[in-house]
């Protein structure tokens, strides 16, 4: 069984391949070994993201672990995933429409057993190394932007960097937050940005379904289903950002295909809902 259904991964690859810069062979004597096709590397990186296993576990006779890392770094330097994420959000907005009147932001702590630039002592895991992701989603749970930080960082200081990462904005946006953000500093920050705030009160506990924050928890669960981020062994911040963007692309395209299946008809439409 493939890591991701073909109805989701094929549209992603079509656009991804169009964004890839042409390869230039800089070897003085010419390449003595055929270059591994980008599609082979792409498929294996999808497996790394979904299954969360080491590069060595995915590598085989068709592609080595060194090639996976090297090609990944090439694509990071070229900014291919960032451009793809922007295009994917634009496509979703054009076909289904992003619900930008209400957005939700929240943080999530995961394990980072190998340490690294963004690892810190986790307050919920006996001080072990952990990573925090601060995620912003629209009213339907579509990821709009995210930042990573050490696990010992509080959610509130990450709100501004998270809002800075939003790929799309709306002047009439209302930000929904849990009671961890309940402070005058947070309200002042949102007012200066021209955003309305809906923040849960610390002294008034309420279930998450009482407001519109539950969608960010659902999207966080979708992200953690990509095991590379649920148990992050990467040490460099740029690589972690690469995997976070890759995960967001899969989520957005998955929702686009699923909702498109329900609303539209097209050639090659799957017989069953993805």
Residue 56 has pLDDT above 90, yes or no: yes
Residue 211: inside a domain, yes or no?
yes
Task: Return the pLDDT at 30.
Answer: 66
Summary mean pLDDT of the chain: 91
Number of domains present in the structure of the chain: 1
Residue 13: inside a domain, yes or no?
no
Neighbouring residues of 115: CB distance < 8 A, sequence distance ≥ 6: 129, 235
Residue 34: inside a domain, yes or no?
no
The token pair at 88 is 């994917």
Residue 210 has pLDDT above 90, yes or no: no
Residue 9: inside a domain, yes or no?
no
Report, as an integer, the average pLDDT of 111-135. 93
The token pair at 7 is 């109805």
Task: Return the pLDDT at 209.
Answer: 63
Residue 117: inside a domain, yes or no?
yes
Residue 91 has pLDDT above 80, yes or no: yes
Report, as an integer, the average pLDDT of 258-272. 79
Report, as an integer, the average pLDDT of 44-58. 95
Alpha carbon 184 to its chain centroid, in Å, reads: 29
> Residue 176 forms beta bridges with which residues?
104, 198
Report, as an integer, the average pLDDT of 237-265. 93
Task: Return the pLDDT at 13.
Answer: 97
The token pair at 21 is 């810069």
Residue 272: inside a domain, yes or no?
no
Residue 135: inside a domain, yes or no?
yes
Indicate the range of 34-43, 210-219, 240-249 predicted with least confidence.
Answer: 210-219
Which residues constitute the domain of residue 178?
99-230
Q: How do residues 157-198 score in pLDDT, each as one tens digit?
A: 999 999 999 877 767 889 999 988 999 999 999 999 989 999
171 by Cβ neighbours in 10 Å (0-12 / 13-18 / 19+) ranks as: exposed
Among residues of the chain, what percentage have pLDDT more than 90?
A: 73
For residues 123-156, one letter each, b for 16 or more C-beta atoms within 10 angstroms of the residue's C-beta and e for the rest, the string is: eeeeeebbbbbbbbbbbbbbbbbbbbbbbebebb
Least Cα distance to 179 among 153, 160, 197 occurs for 197
**What CATH number is attached to the domain comprising 103?**
3.30.420
Task: Return the pLDDT at 94.
Answer: 92
Q: How do residues 2-44 score in pLDDT, each as one tens digit?
A: 788 888 999 999 999 999 998 887 777 766 678 899 999 999 9
Report, as an integer, the average pLDDT of 136-158. 95
Residue 256: inside a domain, yes or no?
no
């Amino acid at each position: 069984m493939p890591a991701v259904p073909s109805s989701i991964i094929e549209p992603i690859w079509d656009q991804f391949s169009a964004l890839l810069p042409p390869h230039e062979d800089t070897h003085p004597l010419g390449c003595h070994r055929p270059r591994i096709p980008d599609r082979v590397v792409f498929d294996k990186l999808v497996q790394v993201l979904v299954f969360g296993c080491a590069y060595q576990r995915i590598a085989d006779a068709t592609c080595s672990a060194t090639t996976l890392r090297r090609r990944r770094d090439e694509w990071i330097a070229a900014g291919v995933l960032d451009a793809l994420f922007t295009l994917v959000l634009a496509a979703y907005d054009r076909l289904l429409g992003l619900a930008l009147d209400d957005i939700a932001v929240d943080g999530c702590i995961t394990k980072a057993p190998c340490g690294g630039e963004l690892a810190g002592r986790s307050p919920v895991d006996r001080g072990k190394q952990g990573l925090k992701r601060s995620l912003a989603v629209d009213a339907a749970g579509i990821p709009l932007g995210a930042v990573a930080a050490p696990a010992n960082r509080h959610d509130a200081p990450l709100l501004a960097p998270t809002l800075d990462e939003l790929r799309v904005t709306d002047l009439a946006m209302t930000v929904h937050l849990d009671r961890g953000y309940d402070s005058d500093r947070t309200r002042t920050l949102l007012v200066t940005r021209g955003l309305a705030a809906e923040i849960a009160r610390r002294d008034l506990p309420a279930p998450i379904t009482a407001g519109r924050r539950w969608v960010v928890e659902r999207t966080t669960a979708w992200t953690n289903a990509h095991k590379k981020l649920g148990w992050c062994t990467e040490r460099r911040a740029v690589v972690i950002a690469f995997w976070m963007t890759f995960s967001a692309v899969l989520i957005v395209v998955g929702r686009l295909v699923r909702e498109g299946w329900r609303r539209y008809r097209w050639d090659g439409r799957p017989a069953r809902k993805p």
